[in-house]
Amino acid sequence: MLTVDDLEIGFSTLHPLAGVDFSVARGEILGLVGESGSGKSMTAMSVMGLLPLIGGRVTRGSIRFEGEELTTLDEARYRRLRGGRIALITQNPMTSLDPMVRVGPQIDQGARLHLGLDARAARIRTVELMARMRIPDAARVYDLHPHQLSGGLRQRIVIAMALAGDPELLIADEPTTALDVIVQAQIVQLLVELVRERDLALMLITHDMGLVAQACDRVAVMYSGRIVESGPVAAIFEDPRHPYTRALIGCIPRPGMAEGTLAGIPGTVPSIADLPSGCRFHPRCPMAVAACRDRVPQTVAVAADHGVACLLAGAASGDAP
Amino acid sequence: MTPILSVENLGHTFPGPAGWFGARKRFRAVGEVDFELHPGEILGVVGESGCGKSTLARLIMRLYEPTDGTIRFEGTDITHLSRRALQPLRRRFQMVFQDPYSSIDPRQTIAEALTEPFEVQGVGLSAAARRAEIERLLALVALDPAMAGSHPHHLSGGQKQRVGIARALALGPRLIAFDEPTASLDVSVQAQVVELLLRLRRELDLTYLFISHDLALVDYLCDRVMVMYLGRVVEILPRGAPPRHPYTQALLAAAFAPDPKVRRHIVRITGEIPSGYDVPTGCAFAARCPLVEDTCRAIRPALVGDGHHAVACHLAPPIASES
């Protein structure tokens, strides 16, 4: 449904994304993971066609949605897609909601704009959608303002807004980060159900490997503007091949782990103004060899649908880094 | 062994906004909290936002005035000590906050931030002693001594949090309360900070009160975990013990296990935490509890247990049956 191929974007001379490849199929949940500064949200902005808004542009590669090239799409046609067939759910519901407008009419907009419903029909549809989001007493909540709702309810409203235009592709950028654990689990459960029942494609952007393990079908691990590893969720967790993927997994505490075994990753994601040569992970990589400094690793397939961009990927797998 | 901290029946009620007819609604943030913290122990405090865990830490640190109960620090009742009487004791208990960006003055150099506690406490340091202290503190938290002259905006989030920890260590405390110290950090950095905290506890013989909403993290770091709901303790359990309170069980079930083979998509808990303005008469969790019975709505369950594991639930099997 969505295929991103060798995507590079530029802000004047800087390139926050340098060759991003991934795809999401209908009915599939793809997790896009990595530390802050790895380019996850930039990827979402690119797919949504919002780069010009922040002064960026696509400098290379393609983004294809149902066969249609998006990188060359004009703004008028992008507007019809955005909020319609492609919808975005952001981390902080308060940035997506207008504090002055009742929540119901905010959801109506999508159906009126993209499905051409009249006010009455849109309202009926909105209340149904809200009920599907398990918002109790939806008809009453329709008339409330965002500040009258809890964080969990607001995020449900934002999801309802995203669904209002009947999207085929949903991009969720850290949709549960600001929420409490139980509410987080409720929202994730809801998103998974929606993907299954509506046969949506969901691109789930997160830094939480636990969320990835619980919700995603496939995973793309991002580091410093590149996808370093991608594959089915089971392969990524059971047989991670890229040292960065292994390091990320090693950062999560698990039951029964002994003191001193939480590895962490020394250093930080490089600034886009000062990128290392070769493999961008090499300064932090415990396995780096001289060649990693000179050569940009190409993505190689290590198994069916499991790709790794690491010069050492052919080396024995499963070893602790 | 004398507890380093003992808290009895601690409570705090914030005055709410004035009502239309002069009646002020009161916001009960924390109530009837009892626990002891032993030297060298790490006690985790978990719960959803609004459960009172941060208020509890601020009460213990005497940043808020408790409205009920007693706090004893190393045997001394500090519940209502005056600012002046508290001042010398403050060297011995310190707090580290979540946001490393707002806890350091952006105009200060790291060296100034690290020596401020000495000035506040009126500890005069010679230029040489000051340099030595800065070097010692930076080394403790594994920061480059060359950072002393930098300003906070030159530091990464993890480095800033290390400075926050170093500053809390300056006066040689016994007890440190951490309020979500890694919540705004990347997992890669969080892991390093957590290992640093474990090393510091070992090397400096420290005791921690560690507030977090991250159960996996608390389970890794803490010796015991205290679970709060709507201002009250619903369970205190040793690390790894099976939870007995339905709320603790729900929290655990909702935590995302980093393993695609153990998927738990069934969340049996609905709704969100109620407001502290309307504390129910019975069990505070009754409205969301999947096991709720009539008794739960009528009578608030007391926290009962054996000093290791205690639970406040009418329906939890008695602790004695645990072996």
Note the pLDDT tens digit of each residue in A275-305: 999 999 999 999 999 999 999 999 999 999 9
- Candidates A192, A244, A198; CA nearest to A217 is A192
CB contact under 8 A, B188 and A35: yes
CA pair distance B94, B179, nearest whole angstrom: 11
Q: Which helix (H) or strand (E) holds A69?
A: strand A68-69
3-state helix, strand, coil in chain A (%, to 5): 35, 25, 40
Q: Is the pLDDT of residue A129 over 90?
A: yes
CA pair distance B15, B7, nearest whole angstrom: 23
Rounded to whole angstroms, what are the CA distances from B92 to A185, B35, B96, B287? 39, 19, 13, 41
CB contact under 8 A, A36 and B186: yes
Lowest mean pLDDT segment, chosen from A108-122, A202-216, A252-266: A252-266
Q: Is the pLDDT of residue B32 over 70?
A: yes
B261 interaction partners in chain A (CB closer than 8 Å) = 234
**Which residue among B191, B198, B251 places its CB closest to the CB of A259?**
B198
Predicted model pTM? 0.88
Mean local confidence (pLDDT), B217-225:
94
* Strand-pair category, B224-229 with A14-24: unpaired
pLDDT for B21? 63
Mean local confidence (pLDDT), B198-225:
94
Q: Answer for the pair A200, A169: CB distance below 8 angstroms, yes or no.
A: yes
**Which residue among A150, A254, A256 places its CB closest to the CB of B258?**
A254
What CATH number has the domain bearing residue B77? 3.40.50.300
3-class state of residue A209 by DSSP: helix
CB contact under 8 A, B191 and A264: yes
* ipTM, 2 dp: 0.83
Is B322 domain-assigned?
Answer: no
Confidence of residue B252 (pLDDT cuts 50, 70, 90): confident
Domains of chain A: 2-85+168-308 (3.40.50.300), 99-166 (no CATH)
CA pair distance A284, B71, nearest whole angstrom: 46
Q: What is the dihedral of CA A228, A229, A230, A234, to 10 degrees?
A: -150
Q: Which helix (H) or strand (E) holds B68?
A: strand B68-73
Note the pLDDT tens digit of each residue in B70-110: 999 999 999 999 999 999 999 999 999 988 777 788 999 99
Which residues 6+ apart lie within 8 Å of A65 measured at CB? A1, A2, A47, A81, A85, A86, A169
Both tokens of B182, joined, read 């890694």
Q: If you ran DSSP here, which 8-state letter would residue B15 be given?
A: E
Q: Higher-confidence residue: B251 or B277?
A: B251
Note the pLDDT tens digit of each residue in A157-195: 999 999 999 999 999 999 988 788 888 888 899 999 999
Lowest mean pLDDT segment, chosen from A227-241, A249-263, B201-215, B220-234: A249-263
3-class state of residue B7 by DSSP: strand
pLDDT for A303? 92
The one-letter amino acid code at A319 reads: D
CB contact under 8 A, A264 and B49: no
CA pair distance A105, A99, nearest whole angstrom: 12
Is B49 domain-assigned?
Answer: yes
**Which residue among A192, A211, A253 places its CB closest to the CB of B216?**
A253
Both tokens of B56, joined, read 């509890």
Q: Which residue has the tokens 């069916």?
A: A304
CA pair distance A302, A295, nearest whole angstrom: 19
Mean pLDDT, chain B, whole residue set: 89
Is B269 domain-assigned?
Answer: yes
Q: Higher-confidence residue: A96 or A64?
A: A64
Note the pLDDT tens digit of each residue in B167-193: 999 999 999 999 999 988 899 999 999
Note the pLDDT tens digit of each residue in A220-260: 999 999 999 999 999 999 999 999 999 999 999 887 888 88
CB contact under 8 A, B48 and A182: yes
Is B79 domain-assigned?
Answer: yes
**A:B CB pairs within 8 Å:** 125
CB contact under 8 A, B260 and A263: no
Is B131 domain-assigned?
Answer: yes
**Shortest CA gap B164–chain A (Å):** 18
Is B61 domain-assigned?
Answer: yes
CA pair distance B47, B52, nearest whole angstrom: 8
Which residues 6+ apart lie within 8 Å of A117 measured at CB? A111, A125
Q: Is the pLDDT of residue B269 over 80?
A: no
Of chain A residues 191-230, which have a CB less than 8 A from chain B?
A: 192, 207-211, 213-214
CA pair distance A34, A15, nearest whole angstrom: 17
**Shortest CA gap B186–chain A (Å):** 6
The one-letter amino acid code at B311 reads: V
Q: Answer for the pair A93, A78: CB distance below 8 angstroms, yes or no.
A: no
CA pair distance B297, B290, nearest whole angstrom: 13
3-class state of residue A227 by DSSP: strand
Q: Is the pLDDT of residue B284 over 60?
A: yes
Of chain A residues 95-154, which have a CB less than 8 A from chain B?
A: 134, 136, 150-153
Both tokens of A243, joined, read 């040292």
CB contact under 8 A, A150 and B253: no
Percent of chain A scored above 70 by pLDDT? 98
3-class state of residue A110 by DSSP: helix
CB contact under 8 A, A207 and B187: yes
- A252 at interface of B, judged by CB pairs closer than 8 A: yes
Q: Answer for the pair B144, B91: CB distance below 8 angstroms, yes or no.
A: no
**Shortest CA gap A290–chain B (Å):** 24
Mean local confidence (pLDDT), B228-239:
94
CB contact under 8 A, B190 and A264: yes
Is B323 domain-assigned?
Answer: no
DSSP secondary structure of A138-181: HHHHTTS-GGGS-HHHHHHHHHHHHHHT--SEEEEESTTTTS-H
Print the domain residue range for B174.
5-317
**Shortest CA gap A127–chain B (Å):** 19
CB contact under 8 A, A182 and B267: yes
DSSP β-bridge partners for residue A298: none
3-class state of residue A119 by DSSP: helix
Q: Answer for the pair B150, B110: CB distance below 8 angstroms, yes or no.
A: yes
Q: How many domains does chain B have?
A: 1
Classify residue A195 by burial, with Cβ atoms within 10 Å: 0-12, 13-18, 19+: buried
CA pair distance A91, A44, nearest whole angstrom: 12
Is B218 domain-assigned?
Answer: yes
